[in-house]
Structure 1
Amino acid sequence: MSSTSQSQPWNVHRLPSAEGRVFLVTGGNAGIGYFVAEQLAATGALVVLGSRNAAKADAAMASIRSRVPGAQVRHLQLDLADLPSLKTAVDRLDLDHLDAVVHNAGVAFDDPPRRETEDGHELMFGINHLGHFALTQWLAPLLSAAPAGRIVTVGSFAARSERLDLDDLQSTRDYRPKRTYGRSKLAQMCFGFELDRRLLAVGSTVLSVVAHPGGALDSLTPSRPPVHVTTPGERLRALPAGLLVQGKDAGAWPIVRAVLDPEVRGGQLWGPRVFGLRGTPRRETALSHMTDPAVAARLWAASGELTGTDPHLGFR
Structure 2
Amino acid sequence: MITRGPADWDPGALPDLSGRMYLVTGANAGLGYFASEKLAAAGAHVILSGRHPNRLAAAHDALEARVPGASVETLLLDVSNPGSIRAAAASVRGGLFSRSRLDGVLLNAGIVHTPRTRELTRDGRELVFATNALGHFVLAAELLTTLAKSAARREHSRLVWLGSVSTHLGIGEPTDFQLERRYEAWHAYVQSKLVVHALGIEADARLRAADVPVDSVVAHPGYSIGGRTEMVTGVNEPSRWKRLRDGVQPWAQSKKRGADALVRALTDPDVRGGEYWGPKFWTQGRTVRQRPSRWAADRDVRTRVWEECERLTGTEWPFARAARAAR
Number of aligned residue pairs: 310
Structure 2 residue 116 is the aligned partner of structure 1 residue 109 = no
- 1:135-174 aligned at under 5 Å gives the runs 135-146=139-150, 147=154, 148-161=156-169, 162-166=171-175, 168-174=176-182
Which residue is equivalent to 1:272? 279
**TM-score of the superposed pair, with normalisation by structure 1:** 0.94
Unaligned runs of 5+ in 1: none
Question: Do 2:129 and 2:178's aligned partners in 1 also have CA atoms closer than 8 Å?
Answer: yes
After TM superposition, give the deviation of residue 239 of structure 1 in Å: 3.0
Using the TM superposition, name which of 103-112 and 118-127 deviates more.
103-112
- Summarize deviations over 1:186-245 as a string: whole Å, max 9, x none: 10010000001101111111100000000011111111112111356643443331x211
Q: Deviations over 1:263-303 (max 9, x none)?
A: 000011110012x1101111111132222110110111110
Q: 1:186 aligns with which of 187, 194, 198?
A: 194
Counterpart residue number, 1:254:
261
Task: Find the counterpart in structure 1 of residue 20 from structure 2.
Answer: 21
Q: Do the aligned residues in 2 keep the contact of 1:4 with 1:10 (CA within 8 Å)?
A: yes
Calculate the TM-score normalised by the size of structure 2. Answer: 0.91
- Which residue among 222, 229, 236 is the counterpart of 1:221? 229
SS in 2 for 1:196: helix
Distance 1:156 1:144 in 2: 27
Counterpart CA distance in 1 for 2:148 and 2:115 is 40
Q: Write out aligned runs for 1:286-297 (5 A).
A: 286-297=292-303
2:184 corresponds to which letter in structure 1? R
Q: Please give the per-residue CA displacement for 1:115-168, whole angstroms capped at 9, x wherever unaligned.
A: 1111110000001100000111110111101121100001111222223332x1
Give CA-to-partner distance per residue, 1:236-261, whole Å, 9 cap, x none.
Answer: 443331x2110111110100000111
Name the aligned partner's letter for residue 2 of structure 1.
R
**Which is worse superposed, 287-296 or 245-254?**
287-296
* Partners of 1:97 and 1:144 within 8 A in 2: no
5+ residue gaps, structure 2: none
Contact 1:37 1:49 in 2 (8 A): yes
Report what 1:263 is aligned to.
270
Q: What is the percent sequence identity of the aligned residues? A: 37
Per-residue CA distance 1:76-119 (angstroms, 9 max, x = gap): 11111111332221121225321000010001335522111111
Q: Is the 8 A contact 2:114 2:128 kept in 1?
A: no
The reply on whether 1:282 has 2:284 as its aligned counterpart is no
Instruction: Give, in whole Å, the separation in 1 of the partners of 2:242 and 2:118.
Output: 30
Q: In structure 2, what is the equivalent of residue 89 of structure 1? A: 88
User: RMSD in angstroms over aligned alpha carbons?
Assistant: 1.6
* Cα distance in 2 for residues equivalent to 1:312 and 1:190: 19
Equivalents in 2 of 1:165, 1:186: separation in Å?
7
Q: How far did residue 54 of structure 1 move?
A: 1.1
How far has the Cα of 1:61 moved from its partner?
0.8
C-alpha contact (below 8 Å) 1:210/1:270 kept by paired residues: yes
Deviation at 1:50, TM superposition (A): 1.4
Going from structure 1 to structure 2, the CA distance change for 1:195 and 1:110 (only over 3 Å counts) comes to closer
Distance 1:38 1:177 in 2: 31
Deviates more, 1:19-28 or 1:9-18: 9-18
- Aligned partners of 1:175, 1:138: CA distance in 2, in Å? 30
Match for residue 252 of structure 2? 245
Q: Aligned to 1:306, which of 295, 312, 316?
A: 312
Tell me: CA distance 1:236–1:84, structure 2 relative to 1, closer, same or farther (3 Å): closer
